[in-house]
Structure 1
Amino acid sequence: MTQPSEAELAKRRFVEFTAETIKNTSATDYPGVYPGEDHSWNIDKFRDSFQVEFHETKAFVSSFSLIGLSAPIANAFRRILIAEVPTIAIEDVYISNNTSVIQDEVLAQRMGLIPFKIDDDLFKWLKWAPAKGQPRDYNTIQLDLEVNCEWFEDGKDKYKKAGERDPRKLYKNAHVYARDFVFKPVNRQMPFVNASNDRGIPSPVFPMHPELLIAKLRPGQVIKIKTHAVKGIGADHAKFSPCATASYRLMPKIDIIKPIIGADASKFARCFPEGVISLKPVTEEQAEDENSPYAGHEGEKYAVVADAMKDPVTRECLRHPEFTDKVRLGRIQDHFIFKIESTGQFTSNDLFVEAAKVLKLKCLRAKRAIQLMNK
């Protein structure tokens, strides 16, 4: 078995963008494509080639690169992030009284979309969503919302007479927010409340965005509701999805084949978003080298690739004939740039770890099924 050179492997990984077409879009890293080459999957080879690079790490937004994966695996991570990592959300809404201007069904739908943060220990203890009409302490979280709007004691006299129009100064509970939900622990949920308090958490279940507006009330209007939140996944309903977005793109690659100097260099830089291409002056050493393409251009600016990741591969430069034989655009076939925005149940970094756990369980189930088939 022969081994291809690094240059040949880099060529195979390059998805080339021309003015009209895209070339080399299919993966070729599997057995039988190249005679005499062994491309069978090997875990040691995968460990050596696989890399993870972090670009941005925040509580709810993270960006990182997975290098050395195939597209189906990368897409499996994306789909699991969106649809198969479990969270909790309000499933059942029991309305005792609602005299607000929002209809019952609209109000219930708004409540279902509120992301809640739940204590890790309580979340792991909870079982999956119960059968309809069978809530239990081990599978249901009760959250109550009881708000009554009325005048402030001095609002009706002092502020109204002064021409005040801000309802939050005139009325008590003029706005109903997500923070107004109250967690009602029952039976075996009580120890989790005490444990949370010991860790400085006021409640083991609380809305991720407390200032999220649910409704507006005026004096005499009341909202009295009991809700049941359960564990679920995004494949059942989007309200259970832990991601605001989960996406990936291939790493852009810009190869400057021939030097681009002077006015052409400035024009070339303007073909890309800011920061992708930078201009550098030709040094004296480069200009004096007779074999250098920069000979005789001392002090002039030439184009270099500063940060290809910022490039969306617009192909704008290929519209200009002076650049067609000087640059090659494309993407790297096995370099996936992920961006994850969490809704709050998990941090963005933990979210990807949870997706990896789900994928691992899927693989174990598939392995078990294959073993049973062979018996």
Structure 2
Amino acid sequence: MGWLSDVLKRNSELEWMFDLDLTSETTHRAYLKKLALETCINFIARTISQSDFRIMVDGKRQFDDWHYLLNIRPNTDQTATGFWQDFVYRLIYDNEVLVIMTENNDLLIADDFDRQEFAVYPDIFTNVTVKDYTFRRTFRMNEVIHMEYNNEKLTNFMDGMFKDFGDLFSRMIEISMRNHQIRGTVGLDTSQKLDKENQSKLQAFIDKLFTSFRKNTVALVPKLKGFEYDEVAKGDGKGQSIEEITKLKRSLIDDIANIIGIPIALIHGELSDYETSVKAYVKFGNSPIVRKIQNELNAKILTKEEYLNGSRIDVFGLTERDVVENAEAVDKLVASGAFTRNEVRELFGKERSDDPELDKFVITKNYQAASEGGEN
């Protein structure tokens, strides 16, 4: 840099020109991360938020306070659908979620908290914050609903890969814009006196010139003495296409969907192999989280004695089988004597009937004949 310093010292006009704002800083495309996470996590959160929570005692559904809290309105500010969507989103994004119950019997999702872990005693949660309010009391593990997602793949991916993808995405957009930009040169008569006032005026004029070319399809520029603008090149239109930029965004969404367990065809709304994709999602994406929620509710809402005596909290949503679509399978289950009609009702998420006939095993004549070797 020594030769450049000498040149600048010999020519003061060149020295101030290097201070002109001719470039702009690269911006990090943070919305790329937001787009991928919102697309995938909200997809699974919306599906689970449609679940139906059923408190079952002796095979009968109970409509009590817990039914209202879990299915209608958990607190004064949220419906059940919004509550469970927020619950699942925090579970996946933060890798854990904490729900407390207030003195007014409201279920609230904590925005922040501190956890003290113990080996043989229940863990304790302190500094539990909801919105702008921090509770002074402590909450024991058996007093709250607490779940961990335990998916370090997603956490590591978000921490590391998003920065690389964001930088690559920014560079692709910059190259595309650069290849479509109009380039020109500005000639100055350096014989003029270039004090700070004239420098400021010249910089303002160049800024207006640039803005005029960038925002207007037709731009007229006054011709000034000692100031010449010549357009030397136009963008050739080559470089990163819109399709390539779209493929990069899709690739990131696909990676997150695979980690969470969402078939790619579903996340992009593709109808090919739709039924197969739905079955795969229910089995590998939806059911594991629903099972986690169901186990946690059974452990925290019901006592050990109630659970061992047959009380249950069942969660039905996408996992619930459609009776009409499976009518043929239902007929075979009952007709073969493999299941009673009440057991089949339970398989499809329905309540048991009080009719004792539905607890009997039935074998139709067709199956009886087949077991006896037919008419011969």
| TM-score of the two chains, using structure 2 as the length reference | 0.25
More strand by share: 1
Higher gyration radius (CA): 2
TM-score (norm 1): 0.25
Name whichever structure is richer in helix by fraction. Answer: 2
